[in-house]
A and B are shown apart, each in its own frame.
Chain A
Amino acid sequence: MTRYLTQDEVIAALPHLTRPRLLAFIAAEVVVPVASNSGPLFRDIDLARLDLLCDLADPFGLEGDTLALVIALVDRLHASHHQLRMLASALAAEPAEVRARVGASLLAAGRASDR
């Protein structure tokens, strides 16, 4: 079962996260906690995301819509990367001649776009 942390526990767990900053992240909807009748709850994935948001907010001064834009691009990056990995692992399980044919096709496509 999923482990949940409360707002106070999350603030205690993440060194760069302050209460006003967490509330700003929630208001900007860059993190969407699990709702419960006892208040917002955070999953492990929310903690990792909050860490990342702090990494972006701190040195780059990102907030609000700008931060939302960047995190949306990171989500797309991860989604595309995940798709690519699934594709690669599906192909890796294919017989050698299939892999060779697909590999040759990819190399040819790479050369074509170089020109």
Chain B
Amino acid sequence: MGHKAMSRDPYAALGLKKSATAAEIKAAYRKLVRSSHPDLNPDDAGAEVRFKAASAAYDLLKDPATRARFDAGEIDASGAERPDRKFYRDYAASAEHPYQRTRGFQGQDDPGDIFAEFLRQRGRGGAAPGGEGVAWNDFATRGPDLHFSLEVPFLDAVRGAKTRITLPVGGTLEVQIPPGTEAGQVLRLRGRGGPGQGGGPAGDALIEISLRPHPVFRREGDDIVITLPITFDEAVLGAKVTTPTLAGPVSLTIPKGASSGRVLRLRGRGVVRAGGGAGDQRVELRIVAPRHLDRELQAFFESWRKTHPDDPRRTLFEGMPT
């Protein structure tokens, strides 16, 4: 729904005649903001369409130069609207709302108490008996939570580390990254947010972790996954090779006749779980052709191919269109 009819005539959208003065345009728009802005009228389902039309019209008419060009027919009203715009009210129900300090209902002990608690909250502020007897701690407000985003090197997140973040107001905050921290995890440092008012407690610092990828290690659940290059001869004959792990190099046996894509599992070499135990490291083999193909090797494979016909792609064509 593009709502084109309204945006054709910005004067009509604001309920004005073409002769309207700049002051009348502004006054009409202010009135429409009050009655149609979705954030001032959260109950009104039609507000968004009305407000978008009004603000597109106002954008066209508020600047005398743009208005003159529109009046002269040099520009039209198309393209002034932003169909993709999201309104603040669309986030009102989001679980981690950074601008809401009190959320939902309270009543820890008995769910049936939440209505009584709701009424008590209202009563407290409303009926302060004149002058004396105002309890100051009724004004105690918890401080705001402060939000941080912190990029952590992969290995620091997996193994745990200590780091620090720079606060926007100056100074730094020490952060303990627990072992096994995942991307998107939010660390909460109690009492390290903004100060409270009237003796209220400080808010929390919430730190969302993102990971700087590692060139070798990847993480899948509690497993660490790596791709390990091996040579032709190691694949054919088998070999004992060294693979990196989180805790340092470890010796690994490549079985005879291993193909690319084969996964070997090193038990307990993955991410250490908080409750004890650890994931595995999965090593995916990848056969790498020799960098230099010498005459001897080529001669060998030419004769070998003649005596060992094989087609590993044979089964791919079963039941396929020909």
Q: Do A and B come from one complex?
A: yes
> Cβ of B165 and Cβ of A37 under 8 Å apart?
yes
Q: A37 and B150: CB pair below 8 A?
A: yes
Q: Which A residues touch B33, using CB under 8 A?
A: 55, 59-60
Q: Are B151 and A83 in contact (CB under 8 A)?
A: no
Do B89 and A78 touch (CB < 8 A)?
yes
Residues of A within 8 A of B208 (CB): 1-2, 34
Contacts of B168 in A (CB 8 A): 35, 40
**Known A44-B86, A49-B99, A79-B102: A32·B144 in contact at CB below 8 Å:** yes
B33, B88, B167, most chain A CB atoms within 10 A: B88
CA distance A37 to B149 in the complex (A): 8
Q: Mark B71-95, 1 if CB is under 8 A from A, else 0.
A: 0000000000010011111111110
**Given A37-B165, A59-B30, A75-B100; A45-B88 close (CB under 8 Å):** yes
Residue contact A36 to B42, C-beta cutoff 8 Å: no
In the complex where A35-B149, A36-B148 touch, is A81 in contact with B42 (Cβ < 8 A)? yes
Q: Is the CB of A34 within 8 A of B42?
A: no
- Known interface pairs A1-B184, A36-B150, A40-B168. Does A79 touch B100 (Cβ–Cβ under 8 Å)? yes
Q: List 25 A-B contacts (CB under 8 A).
A: A2-B149, A2-B184, A32-B99, A32-B147, A34-B148, A35-B148, A36-B151, A37-B150, A37-B151, A37-B165, A41-B149, A45-B91, A45-B98, A48-B91, A51-B88, A52-B87, A52-B88, A59-B29, A74-B39, A77-B39, A77-B42, A78-B92, A79-B100, A81-B43, A82-B104
Q: Within 8 Å CB of A38, what residues of B?
A: 151
Give the residues in chain B near A44, CB-CB below 8 Å: 86, 91
Contacts from A to B (Cβ < 8 Å)? 1-2, 4, 15, 32, 34-38, 40-41, 43-45, 47-49, 51-52, 55, 59-60, 74-75, 77-79, 81-83, 85-86
The range of chain B's interface size is 35 or more
Contact of B94 among A34, A36, A45 (CB under 8 A): A45
Return the chain B residue nearest A1 by Cβ.
B184
Residues of A within 8 A of B165 (CB): 35-37
Which listed residue (A15, A32, A60, A74) contacts B146, Cβ 8 A? A32
**Residues of A contacting B: mostly:** helix
Chain B residues with CB below 8 A from A35, complex form: 146-149, 165-168
Given contacts A41-B149, A51-B85, A78-B89, contact A86 B105 (CB under 8 A): yes
User: Measured between C-beta atoms, what is the minimum distance from B132 to chain A in Å?
Assistant: 28
Contact B42–A45 (Cβ < 8 Å): no
1/0 per residue, CB under 8 A from A, across B152-180: the answer is 00000000000001111000000000000
B26 within 8 A of A: yes
Instruction: Say yes or no: is B183 at the interface (Cβ < 8 Å to chain A).
Output: yes
Q: Does B7 contact A (CB under 8 A)?
A: no
With A and B bound together, what is the CA distance between A111 and B85 in angstroms?
40
Does B11 interact with chain A (Cβ within 8 Å)?
no
Q: Which residues on B sit within 8 Å (CB–CB) of A43?
A: 98
